[in-house]
Amino acid sequence: MKITLAYKPVTAGKDDGPDRNAQKACQAPRFGPILPFSIHILMKDDFMDSNAKIFVAGHTGLVGSALVRALTRRGFTNLIVKTHAELDLCVQAQVEAFFSEHRPEYVLLAAAKVGGIYANKTYPADFARINLLIQTNVLDAAYRNGANKFLFLGSSCMYPRLAAQPMRVADLMTGPLEPTNEWYALAKLAGYKMGQGYRLQHGFPFISAIPANLYGPGDNFNPQDSHVVPALIRRFHEAKRAGQPSVSAWGTGSARREFLYVDDAAEALLFLLENYDDGEIINIGAGPETSIRELTEITARAVGYTGSIEWDASKPDGMPRKLLDNTRMAALGYAATVSLEEGLKQTYEWFLENQGNIRL
């Protein structure tokens, strides 16, 4: 059903237009009036009850922990979470038994094997196998046990390596993937298409979203398999403590990314869970692009490191650019609100306050 809901208007920005080479940056996302656009949304009466059973798969990870925070802030009281020791999502029998016992009404699949360039290059089979198993087991069990809604989290690496910028959903599967993470990307593409298949064949309410590069509290700071932001934070933190005069950074610094604070992403995902009902995946953009060189310098300032940065051009840069076309979310009035500078500052503060609990 297509309807118009009267949300508080927000000021349009340059990313609201058709220019594929421009977008905009930003406490909680806002949702404004729905513009003329082919987006399916739900009636207010269909919104989630605060006592609904909600399974957040991967609740200890970056996105999962942010979803739990957001759901708790919104007053949801019946959250179902399981650690890996309690429930191995790669084991079909365990997943089927869990769903048969708990029968969650809403399933948020934030569990995945993720990592940066080094991890993807070193463990390609693991990235393919583990993600395919998790997606298959959880999606099928959710369908067989009558879940009301299923949210699948995609990744911007699903787009072709040289996709036009900003990247539109129509660009998916139109060219070769980035070689440094193609196994993870292929697994994510398979999960998305499988969910579409369940929706087409069984009418299962599957939706999916591709957020921009995420960072924030709850991230993985292990230097062997972390993404760029936590890797830089840890590297600069340790260099500052040790008094090192310089820090080495991978690549040339020329690659460009957009970075989305994870709590902004969680709010957007919950909005989609309550309002969006379309089989086509939707982008959640953050705003302007930032070069890895700029990101590195901003992170050094956030940590308080004053030494020099030396670039190792023998290491790969990854995809040259990854900017998401945010038109559809902008049509819903969405805008991320935490700036990169503020987000990095908050992430480093969380890193300092949680030394005994973070993944190192």
**What are the tens digits of pLDDT across the range 244-279?**
999 999 899 999 999 999 999 999 999 999 999 999
Strand partners of residue 150: 107, 206
From the CA atom positions of the chain, what is the Rg in Å? 20
Amino acid at position 57, single letter: A
Q: Under DSSP, is residue 79 helix (H, G, I), strand (E, B) or coil?
A: strand
Q: Is the pLDDT of residue 161 over 50?
A: yes
Share of the chain above pLDDT 90, in %: 76
Could you tell me the end-to-end alpha-carbon distance of the chain, in angstroms, rounded to an integer?
Answer: 47
305 CB-side CA count, 13 A: 28
Say what the pLDDT of residue 22 is: 34
- Tokens representing 181 are 């993470």
Mean pLDDT score, 274-301: 95
Task: Find where tokens 């840069």 sit.
Answer: 317
Which helix H or strand E contains 152, and what residues bound it?
strand 149-153
Q: How confident is the model at residue 141 (pLDDT cuts 50, 70, 90)?
A: very high
Which of the 8 DSSP states describes residue 246? Answer: E
User: Quick one: pLDDT at residue 359?
Assistant: 65
Whether 247 contacts 239, CB under 8 Å: yes
Tokens for 102, please give them. Answer: 């708990």
Tell me: pLDDT of 29 over 50: no
Q: How many CA atoms lie within 13 A of 83 on its CB side?
A: 2
Q: What is the largest CA-CA distance in the chain?
A: 60
Average pLDDT over residues 145-174: 97
Q: State the average pLDDT over residues 8-16.
A: 34
Pairing of strands 282-284, 206-211: parallel
With a cut of 50, say whether residue 23 has pLDDT above it. no
For helices 292-303 and 340-353, the axis angle rounded to 10 degrees is 50
**Residue count (the chain):** 360
Would the pLDDT of 32 be above 60? no
- Provide φ and ψ at 290, rounded to 5°: -130, 130
Write down the pLDDT at residue 26: 33
pLDDT confidence bin for 355, thresholds 50/70/90: confident
Q: Which has the minimum average pLDDT: 33-47, 56-70, 228-242, 322-336?
A: 33-47
Active site residues: 184
pLDDT(306) > 90: yes
pLDDT tier at 240, thresholds 50, 70, 90:
very high
CB 24 within 8 A of CB 335: yes
Domains of the chain: 14-216+258-289+321-339 (3.40.50.720)
- Write down the pTM of the prediction: 0.85
Mean pLDDT of 59-75: 96
Three-state DSSP class for residue 121? helix
For residues 250 and 48, give the distance between their C-alpha atoms in angstroms, rounded to a whole number. 44
Is residue 134 helix, strand or coil?
helix
Coil, strand or helix: which one is 347?
helix
pLDDT of residue 31: 37
Contacts with 333 (C-beta within 8 Å, 6 or more apart), sequence order: 7, 8, 9, 10, 30, 31, 32, 33, 34
Residue closest to 229 by CA, chosen among 69, 59, 356, 347: 347
DSSP string, 4-55: ---PPP----GGGSS-TT-----------PPPSS---B--GGGSPPTT--EE
